[in-house]
Chains A and B, each alone.
Chain A
């Protein structure tokens, strides 16, 4: 597919060139301008975090940040929420995706569509709904970050479900399960000893995506008045710009690095199957929906 268009049609005589071929100048201009747009904010942030608005190079923004106890406590809170979200997501999604592929492959499409529902309803609206419908729940749920973890499982679903689903898709579930059954193993054991080890990369994907989501999520956390990592970042930003920018540079790197790892891991796997450059594309798409990562 990919190679088709890139290669100029040498065979065609009259027309001379492939109609799809794009001029070198065009390509350089487009990619150069767009590339600049993406790199300049990173450079600006780096500069701002080292100098502030005044001249002179210093690490003070970073050292202030790292010695700020609230930086660590909010980070810790977000990590706790992340661990809860990841655990709950895996506990729900692994049995579900395995079951769908094993027993009910016909409803795969329906399930996928359901998993995308959270993208359709804006997270601000979901938060409003959570307040109106669960407002009267006991404090142990609504008054603690537990509610955040419970909601994040849903909000991260568009990314986590598909990742795991494509992991399960790569296995021959039926054969594995039936082989296990014919040896007399109960479903629980099959899941734990046979399927889970085979699902490693899918599980890794879910862990990274769900965790990154939890670290970056702002809307729900701030509207339910929990001071998570992202919420604290905004609070700092009100008064100390250079610290907030140092903070967000760190946050960006912390999202980009794991995402790149997931992209590479998945493209290797997809690459094995299709042995094409499309692998990277496939995997980037599976993380594409993370756009609303922090919305």
Chain B
């Protein structure tokens, strides 16, 4: 999952007409495999072998072993009981919480990020734009433990904002708010999700071609009409793709939640973490693997949707 438009830009540098070479022609596949082996083309790929092997050992083997072991009982036999426990009771609640948390935080950051991107792209000065983009690049990379603690100082029981709100007579903690809840986490996650969305949305907004804007304007389109018929449909795919990236990001996030709640909030990564740290259910040593497999499943669904949306997105924005 990535900010893809950067990649799209690069394709144009690849050379004129170079794109056509990757067009697969049915039937020639076997022939090309033979040619590949016969004429020593494979030697070309020897140089990347160390990289592939490394990735295989330290990423693929662990990932596959999680999924495989999820189907094993304590005695090593095949069983589905890990999944039946993993998707019921408190663990089912965790999946629900996790998905809810990711959906909420992704929706908010998508909306806010889009507004910020629109605001700076349309601004006349270049300085503002440069500052906001650079800032977004830095803030988007702020996550984890330090972020959690700086929010404790802000919205915690004795945080600055909590104090100020109490002074004006509204202590949020008396009204059901807690930083150490799903709502609190949602707010904290915005700190790195909004900047990410800004970075994702600037290139597509930039790419709205001048001709289209001019054509709309000269045909007398109002602002609403422009967004309804031109801007909206063009920006929808990248917006959706960005949403999926943010969703995955907050779904997988562990450090912030762990530091903020000392590992007590019931979301899936935290549950897996606590199973790893030794709170193993008797008779279900591989329960964590089932939860892990479930997480991989959710992420893969998001990734497939992303690929789908991305194909649409790249049609116009080259």
A82 vs B203: C-alpha distance when bound (angstroms): 33
Instruction: Using A233-B146, A259-B138, A290-B141 as known contacts, say yes or no to A41 and B154 having CB atoms under 8 A apart.
Output: yes
Would you call A237 and B137 a contact (CB within 8 A)?
A: no
Whether the pair A234, B145 counts as a contact (CB closer than 8 A) is yes
Q: How far is the CA of A192 from the CA of B58 in the complex (A)?
A: 27
**A44 at interface by CB-CB < 8 Å:** yes
A295 touches B143 (CB 8 A): yes
B137 near A219 with CB under 8 A, answer no
Interface 0/1 of B11-28, CB less than 8 Å to A: 001000000011000000
Mark out the residues of chain B between 202 and 220 whose CB falls within 8 Å of any chain A CB in the assembled complex.
202-203, 205-210, 213-214, 216-218, 220
Is B58 in contact with A19, judged by CB distance below 8 angstroms?
Answer: no
In the complex, the answer to whether B276 meets A128 with C-beta atoms within 8 Å is: yes
Within 8 A of A (CB), among B1-46: 1-3, 6-7, 10, 13, 21-22, 44-45
B258-288 at interface with A (beta carbon < 8 Å): 258-259, 262, 269, 272-273, 276-277, 288
Provide the residues of chain B in CB contact with A22, threshold 8 Å. Answer: 118-119, 122-123
- Is there an interface contact between B254 and A263, defined as CB atoms closer than 8 Å? no
Chain A residues with Cβ under 8 A from B209's Cβ?
A: 4
Q: Which B103-118 residues have C-beta < 8 A from chain A?
A: 112, 115-116, 118
Q: Which of A73-100 contact B (CB under 8 A)?
A: 92-93, 95-96, 99-100
Q: Which of A63-71, A119-127, A178-186, A194-202 touches B?
A: A119-127
B292 nearest in chain A by CB position: A125
Interface residues of B (CB under 8 A from A): 1-3, 6-7, 10, 13, 21-22, 44-45, 47-48, 50-52, 54-55, 58-59, 61-66, 69, 112, 115-116, 118-124, 126, 128-130, 132-154, 156, 158-161, 190-192, 194, 196, 199-200, 202-203, 205-210, 213-214, 216-218, 220-223, 226-227, 231, 248-249, 251-256, 258-259, 262, 269, 272-273, 276-277, 288-289, 292, 295-296, 299-300, 303
What are 19 A-B residue pairs whose CB atoms fall within 8 Å in the complex?
Answer: A19-B216, A19-B221, A31-B128, A44-B160, A47-B160, A104-B44, A122-B254, A129-B63, A132-B65, A133-B62, A158-B2, A217-B255, A218-B259, A245-B153, A260-B138, A277-B129, A287-B141, A288-B137, A292-B252
